[in-house]
């Protein structure tokens, strides 16, 4: 997938952002936590040695008061709350937007699964007549996007992408395309991941999870990741719409490309192609990149492939680009990862400081400039990268709001 907007007159800008994580539920506090190297990971209650995180307490109605919220599962609630917060940040009341000019793209791979498991088990154990019928439409993969669309009355489009950890960058790419093609004036891209016991157990037994203190990214000592709960949302608008509302742009989406690695050994090449494509779409060159917000999660071969892919794409310009990786603090937040990486990148560009990679002591062999201590950054563009378990790779170029 690729989409671009290097043309400033038709730019697609970011006017609202939100985060819901175990470390913070607002962007400044999240950045403070990242700079302080806080770790959200704890040991799963009944699975020894498996790092997980959970937002506690999480009371959805504190963030959003929309119809049906209580019957939605945790992932859907997290998504709706993040969307609501991002709309507020963008100073947008959904009822003020013409509903057919307002769309939602959700990123959620497993967001329907615990409802499906509940529904399916009930059918098995209680039979058809004693199973709650309202669960069924919430038990299908499109449900996270559908409920967000219903909650906010979005009539331009609502759909869900399920590309694992690449989902939310791809969702931003799709939002960028839809707005560029004038299919809407405003698009909320929302992503959420909530842990359920089945997923944690399966990931642990797949050998993907390590102990909370050992979730180390881009570190040669790393042995695995943790599964982190989080959601985030970004409000995209056509620039003229933001201008007409007199709302400042927090960032500009410049270009996005997604690729695929048909074999595990092709991952670094696939990511390199995605990065090069995103730079091309953005009309940027590697030297423009001040910051790389990577999706590395602590799984050794993935981190290595990502480092190699970024290095291959940026070449000598690697020396100028600070590389950050928030999953050292938050764990593998799957669909939510890309949006959180973008938001962290934007805040870093704004403050001109990049947060350190938590716990990084022995970086994997590469020529990348990993941020080990809070570091200053000078240029205005960031490259954001992600890779899914299944081989999807995604890269996006974003500029800080002051570039607009």
Q: Which is nearer to other proteins, 39 or 158 (CB)?
A: 158
Helices 113-126 & 197-205, crossing angle to 10 degrees?
110
**Window 9 to 68, contacts with other proteins (CB under 8 A):** 68
For residue 141, give both structure tokens. Answer: 């993969």
Q: Which of 166, 148, 162, 161 is nearest to 103 (CA)?
A: 148
| Least separation in angstroms between CB 231 and other proteins | 17
Label the pairing between strands 102-107 and 157-161. Answer: parallel
| Least separation in angstroms between CB 73 and other proteins | 13
Among 189, 261, 371, 396, binds other proteins (CB under 8 A): 261
Measure the CA–CA gap between 254 and 399, rounded to whole angstroms. 7
Q: Which is nearer to other proteins, 59 or 263 (CB)?
A: 263
**Window 176 to 205, contacts with other proteins (CB under 8 A):** 177, 181, 183, 197-199, 201-203, 205
Residue 3 three-state SS: strand
| Least separation in angstroms between CB 62 and other proteins | 24
Q: Which is nearer to other proteins, 273 or 311 (CB)?
A: 273
Helices 337-351 & 27-35, crossing angle to 10 degrees?
80
Q: Which is nearer to other proteins, 35 or 197 (CB)?
A: 197
| Least separation in angstroms between CB 247 and other proteins | 24
Q: Which is nearer to other proteins, 152 or 370 (CB)?
A: 152
Question: Binding marks (x or -) toward other proteins, 239..258, rule CB under 8 A?
Answer: ------------------xx
Question: Binding marks (x or -) toward other proteins, 273..312, rule CB under 8 A?
Answer: x---------------------------------------
Q: Which is nearer to other proteins, 368 or 395 (CB)?
A: 395
Say whether residue 208 binds other proteins (CB under 8 A). Answer: yes
| Least separation in angstroms between CB 221 and other proteins | 24
| Least separation in angstroms between CB 194 and other proteins | 14
Measure the CA–CA gap between 227 and 175, rounded to whole angstroms. 27
Measure the CA–CA gap between 175 and 104, rounded to whole angstroms. 8
Whether residue 2 contacts residue 240, with contact meaning beta carbons closer than 8 Å, is answered with no
Measure the CA–CA gap between 103 and 140, rounded to whole angstroms. 20
Rg (CA), the chain: 20
Say whether residue 75 binds other proteins (CB under 8 A). Answer: no
| Least separation in angstroms between CB 365 and other proteins | 25
Say whether residue 142 binds other proteins (CB under 8 A). Answer: yes
Say whether residue 1 binds other proteins (CB under 8 A). Answer: yes
Label the pairing between strands 42-43 and 322-324. Answer: unpaired
Expressed in angstroms, the distance from the first to the final Cα of the chain is 24
Q: Which of 117, 276, 83, 42 is nearest to 188 (CA)?
A: 83
Question: Binding marks (x or -) toward other proteins, 102..141, rule CB under 8 A?
Answer: -x-----xx--x--xx-xxx-xxx-xxx-x-x--xxxxxx
**Window 145 to 174, contacts with other proteins (CB under 8 A):** 145-147, 149-150, 153-164, 170, 174
For residue 73, give both structure tokens. Answer: 């599962």
| Least separation in angstroms between CB 139 and other proteins | 6
Measure the CA–CA gap between 145 and 150, rounded to whole angstroms. 9
| Least separation in angstroms between CB 338 and other proteins | 14
C-alpha distances out from residue 245 to 76, 88, 188, 250, Å: 29, 14, 17, 14
């Amino acid at each position: 997938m690729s989409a671009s907007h290097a043309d400033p007159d038709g730019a697609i800008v970011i006017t609202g952002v939100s985060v819901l994580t175990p470390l913070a539920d607002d962007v400044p506090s999240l950045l403070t936590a990242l700079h302080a190297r806080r770790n959200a990971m704890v040991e799963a209650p009944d699975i020894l040695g498996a790092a997980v995180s959970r937002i506690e307490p999480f009371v959805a109605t504190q963030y959003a008061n929309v119809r049906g919220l209580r019957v939605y599962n945790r992932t859907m609630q997290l998504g709706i709350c993040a969307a609501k917060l991002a709309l507020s940040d963008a100073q947008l009341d959904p009822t003020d937007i013409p509903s057919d000019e307002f769309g939602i793209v959700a990123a959620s791979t497993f967001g329907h699964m615990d409802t499906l498991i509940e529904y399916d088990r009930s059918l098995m154990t209680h039979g058809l007549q004693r199973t709650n019928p309202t669960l069924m439409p919430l038990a299908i993969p499109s449900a996270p996007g559908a409920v967000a669309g219903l909650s906010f009355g979005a009539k331009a489009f609502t759909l869900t992408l399920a590309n694992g950890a690449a989902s939310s960058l791809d969702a931003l790419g799709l939002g960028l395309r839809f707005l560029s093609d004038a299919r809407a004036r405003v698009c909320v891209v929302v992503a959420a991941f909530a842990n359920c016991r089945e997923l944690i157990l399966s990931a642990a037994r797949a050998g993907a999870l390590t102990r909370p203190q050992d979730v180390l990214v881009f570190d040669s000592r790393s042995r695995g990741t943790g599964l982190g709960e989080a959601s985030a949302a970004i409000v995209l608008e056509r620039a003229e719409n933001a201008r007409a509302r007199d709302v400042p742009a927090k960032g500009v989406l410049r270009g996005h490309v997604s690729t695929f690695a048909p074999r595990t050994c092709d991952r670094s090449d696939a990511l390199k192609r995605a990065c090069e494509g995103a730079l091309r779409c953005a009309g940027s060159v590697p030297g423009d990149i001040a910051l790389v917000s990577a999706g590395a999660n602590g799984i050794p071969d993935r981190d290595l492939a990502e480092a190699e892919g970024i290095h291959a794409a940026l070449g000598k310009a690697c020396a100028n680009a600070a590389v950050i990786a928030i999953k050292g603090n938050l764990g593998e937040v799957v669909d939510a990862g890309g949006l959180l990486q973008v938001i962290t990148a934007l805040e870093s560009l704004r403050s001109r400081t990049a947060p350190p990679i938590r716990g990084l002591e022995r970086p994997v062999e590469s020529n990348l400039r990993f941020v080990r201590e809070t570091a200053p950054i000078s240029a205005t563009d960031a490259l954001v990268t992600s890779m899914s378990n299944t081989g999807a790779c995604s890269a996006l170029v974003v500029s800080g709001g002051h570039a607009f």
